[in-house]
A and B are shown apart, each in its own frame.
Chain A
């Protein structure tokens, strides 16, 4: 506060006058001897108290009046920051940039911040007047921006009224850039950008100034509350958790505290909209912590929605994060039995089938079809009709296992090779029925290396020496997906004894050939190679117990399953990739003739006809809301059902959860011709009018008190 005429404050000494009058007045009371004092004394106490009170009030009122007069004469004034943006009415170009990122829905004093910002925007629009050319630019990432300024304020007002916070993070810099572009096209001299934003630093890129020196005037409306905290679930991953069972999954939720105060939040995990676990987290300011939930997927479901949410936060949209929890995708395996037997355990595929479908359960993750080598003729379209073998469509399978299969005719090999090149996976294991010479003639397009005659390490040994002369698996690629379940010296693999193995010859015309495991004698045990988009694996021993006892070792089951999944390229499944709001999602069309996508708000898209024909995948971009997006597919037969395997989830971008305010320097400076200077933001408020009114009131009060 300041004074225009501070010398007048000396007049405040006049305050002594009423005090002196008060003190003197007490002494100057007329003394009257009075006979009937008893008649007065009955009211003495009340009268005296009232009199004292009145006298003191009079003193106070008079002193205040004197003081107020002196202060008023000194012409006091104060200065204050202008609260609202400086809006000048008249012809001009203006862009109102409004923050509609999801953070704008944060509750401030029980009311969404965006509502307040929207009201301010409409107020600015009104104050600009009908002659102003205006545009509304939203400051969320990926928001559509207007192409020109307009004088149609009614439409702009309706636009503002219809505006709601998006689910996207802020991109203020882009919005300002667009505002500058719009204003640059205007012929008006006065160009202003009104910025109504939470000014989160994540939305500003100081290294990309939206305009240069001759840019528009920037008027920033500071509607941000002094304290703004936010706690959000910033990421959520789901992984298989074999320890919890075959349907066990673990959810790792990361929670971030973006406020300046410690936070204690309650987390809950819900699977298929049912809360199955709860937990608590205490977070220091600006700390991120992870919380792991273990759960089992509901019986019968191979995939389901899950979400981790927290409660008690002012910004609700980022308090919940979705994930698709999927048991491993089913691998369709075609097992070709080269040595079928009537005795079950003597069959070449007995152990492989048992390993791929343990317990023969539906949820084993594998669909297995076993055929004989002869039946494999069904894959060859030219052979159809000539043989009794049923037609086999290789596209129905992800992996083909050739177990001890004699060399196939070149036509069949060609079909298999084409299928592998298109993305299929093939596992070849030799046996007594495999002739390396015949293999060299026809099977090389399917092998990473040619086969040589097998060696029997126990040849000529006694029964006692047999075990000691057996080979063992060593030096496997521990980092390879097939061997990830095993430790470096896993006994479940290393203890297996191999009595006979095929040796390998020259490499073939495959790519990325790699020996994944070797025997103790240095011979290759498992070789991998790429054929086009597919893969081939060559195991140099049998898949039953003819040449080794691996099938009766614990390592056999995971080895076979991992190998099949590796070939089927379905290793990393278990959780979908994290799609963010606004991102486009690619969906395989498979053989569907109609694909319908429904978002959490019920709105979606339908792909059919030309949009689906001759396309292996479609892209869906209307991911404006976080949540689970369902996919309903209609196949060629006209059957329509939920395609759980195609469903996906959309989450908000955790960048938008960080409400940390940006530095003032991060904002672009007003351009030339800026009408806004720091001084302009200061407004002088003269106080003497109010003081004069107070003096009048005091005089009235004094008059009333005197009369009483």
Chain B
């Protein structure tokens, strides 16, 4: 565990065994530095005492307190509703890009696997939708059982093994989730590079948020996409199309980076305005750090969003 206490290189992590193991390592790495109480407990937790008043349920009277204080106090509990988490993995062809380290798809898959592991541990429901290849959508319905984790991770492993393909944006999958969780608010976590020429994905995320779902986005990018470190005459081949571009990277670097910055800023601002939790992550960033950032952000959002008084 000593090693895991350090931040793990995603590339090294990827070399670890099966996906469940990787997920557990990530989760444990992420949680090892946190205060346990903040995340530990069942779905019904004691919050505070309240002096009894007529109408309160007698079964919630704290008899021990009565014994000590000779007064009736009623226990109040924080009752969390069961969380339904939809993990949406963009498995389009653009996600298989790996500049020098982990492919974006792998990084996104590992992140979602760790999240699934964590949520299953909390006995919440987790579902998975992998999109990208047009007409072939991989979906694992949300379940809370422990065995479900294995199924989900198995599917996720398959998707990652197959690699990215197709050019379908996650917008369709997000729309599907909106239909599935119409009556119950869900947490939706999308891991994608958001390379969508029509901005459908961003619009779909905003729509979900407008339907009062909690939405988080892991905007997964490769460091090469953010720094464009290429030199010399280079022929760039598109991953989602047959387009090619022969260029001198030095000549186009500045303009490309400006456009990429503008794209990321636009995504961030648009989603932030809609209340979507946005995280830009590079694939060389430690996964547990990414997970922790996500959890911390969720924790900050909790009082006003998912938490309810019981």
Residues of chain A whose beta carbon lies under 8 Å from any beta carbon of chain B: 25, 28-44, 47-48, 50-51, 54, 708
Contacts and interface: CB of A to CB of B under 8 A. Distances in A.
A32 to B, nearest CB: 5
Contacts of B232: 29-30
A39 B234 contact: no
Contacts of A51: 246-248, 251
Nearest to A34: B236
Nearest to B247: A47
Given A35-B93, A35-B193, A35-B222, 7 more contacts: A32-B235, A37-B241, A39-B263, A41-B238, A43-B252, A44-B245, A51-B248
A260 B246 CA distance: 64
B70 interface: no
Nearest to B97: A35
B94 interface: yes
Contact of A40 (B94, B195, B233, B236): B236
B219 interface: no
Contacts of A32: 230, 234-237
Contacts of A25: 233
B55 interface: no
Contacts of A48: 245-247
Given A42-B259, A48-B246, A51-B246, A35 B251 contact: no
A706 to B, nearest CB: 10
B239 interface: yes
A50 B259 contact: no
Contacts of A40: 236, 245, 247, 252, 256
B17 interface: no
B69 interface: no
B225 interface: yes
Given A28-B233, A47-B252, A708-B251, A33 B246 contact: no
B239 A37 contact: yes
B97 A34 contact: yes
A34 B104 CA distance: 12
Given A28-B233, A51-B251, A35 B246 contact: no
Contacts of B230: 30, 32
Nearest to B237: A33
Nearest to B258: A39
B21 interface: no
Nearest to B257: A39
A38 B234 contact: no
B135 interface: no
A708 B247 CA distance: 12
B260 interface: yes
B243 interface: yes
B109 to A, nearest CB: 16
Interface residues of B, number: 33
A36 B237 contact: no
B255 interface: yes
A265 to B, nearest CB: 67
A34 B239 contact: yes
Contacts of A30: 230, 232-235
Contact of B239 (A33, A43, A44): A33
Contact of A37 (B104, B238, B251): B238
B197 A38 contact: yes
B245 to A, nearest CB: 5
Contacts of A34: 97, 236-239
A38 B263 CA distance: 11
Contacts of A43: 252, 255-256
Contacts of B233: 25, 28-30
Contacts of A42: 259
A40 B258 CA distance: 11
A37 B234 CA distance: 12
6 contacts: A29-B233, A30-B230, A33-B236, A36-B225, A36-B260, A37-B243
User: Of residues B95, B236, B237, B240, which shows the largest number of chain A Cβ atoms within 10 Å of its Cβ?
Assistant: B236
A29 B246 contact: yes
Contacts of B252: 40, 43, 47
A28 B235 CA distance: 10
A34 B247 CA distance: 13
B235 A29 contact: yes
Contacts of A54: 248
Contacts of A44: 245, 247
B260 A35 contact: no
Contacts of B195: 35-36, 38
B251 A41 contact: no
Contacts of B248: 47, 51, 54
Contacts of B239: 33-35, 37
B282 to A, nearest CB: 13
Nearest to B93: A35
A48 B251 CA distance: 11
Nearest to B238: A37
Contacts of B241: 37
Contact of B251 (A31, A38, A47): A47
Contacts of A31: 234-235, 237
Contacts of A38: 195, 197, 238
Contacts of B225: 35-36
A37 B235 contact: no
A29 to B, nearest CB: 4
A42 B258 CA distance: 12
Interface string B171-183: 0000000000000
A30 B246 CA distance: 9
Contacts of A39: 256, 259-260, 263
A31 B233 CA distance: 9
Contacts of B234: 29-32
